[in-house]
């Protein structure tokens, strides 16, 4: 399990490493394109359950911490599916991993809004070059 730390006080959200690696690429791609992100995720039972949303802008302090020492192979289709949720009524959220874009089921509340303009997916190596 890894952590997404956000804000000046470094609040943390615990996320499985593989999911966090894909979420990292999705969030950084959106932020580099100048988009803000309303990220919604479930809260652990230890924290009372439910879900929470955080507002992330290009100025938000973010840190991604992974427990594992190996970076997973990234699934481009999954990254694109996560990015696509940013233009939904529910905001950015995790979706099940898919091997092909046609495998991604988009629930009604996650349906893209009109005039959605998601940025292109960028591989982490491309992100570090800018």
CB atoms within 10 A of CB 45: 8
Domain ranges for the chain: 2-108
Is the pLDDT at 101 greater than 80? The verdict is no
pLDDT in tens, 63-92: 999 998 898 899 999 999 999 999 998 899
pLDDT band at 10 (very low <50, low <70, confident <90, very high): confident
Taking only Cα atoms into account, the Rg of the chain, rounded to an integer number of angstroms, comes to 14
**Residue carrying structure tokens 């302090």:** 61
Its pTM surpasses 0.85 = no
């Amino acid at each position: 399990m890894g952590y997404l730390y956000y804000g000046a006080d470094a609040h943390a959200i615990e996320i499985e490493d593989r999911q966090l690696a894909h979420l990292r690429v999705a969030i950084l791609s959106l932020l580099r394109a100048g988009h803000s992100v309303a990220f919604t995720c479930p809260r652990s039972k230890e924290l009372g359950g439910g879900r929470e949303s955080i507002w992330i802008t290009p100025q938000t302090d973010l840190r991604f911490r992974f427990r594992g020492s190996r970076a997973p192979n990234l699934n481009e289709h999954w990254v694109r599916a996560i990015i696509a949720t940013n233009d939904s009524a529910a905001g950015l959220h995790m979706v099940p991993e898919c091997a092909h874009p046609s495998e991604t089921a988009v629930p009604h509340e996650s349906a893209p809004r009109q005039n959605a303009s998601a940025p292109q997916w960028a591989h982490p190596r491309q992100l570090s070059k800018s």
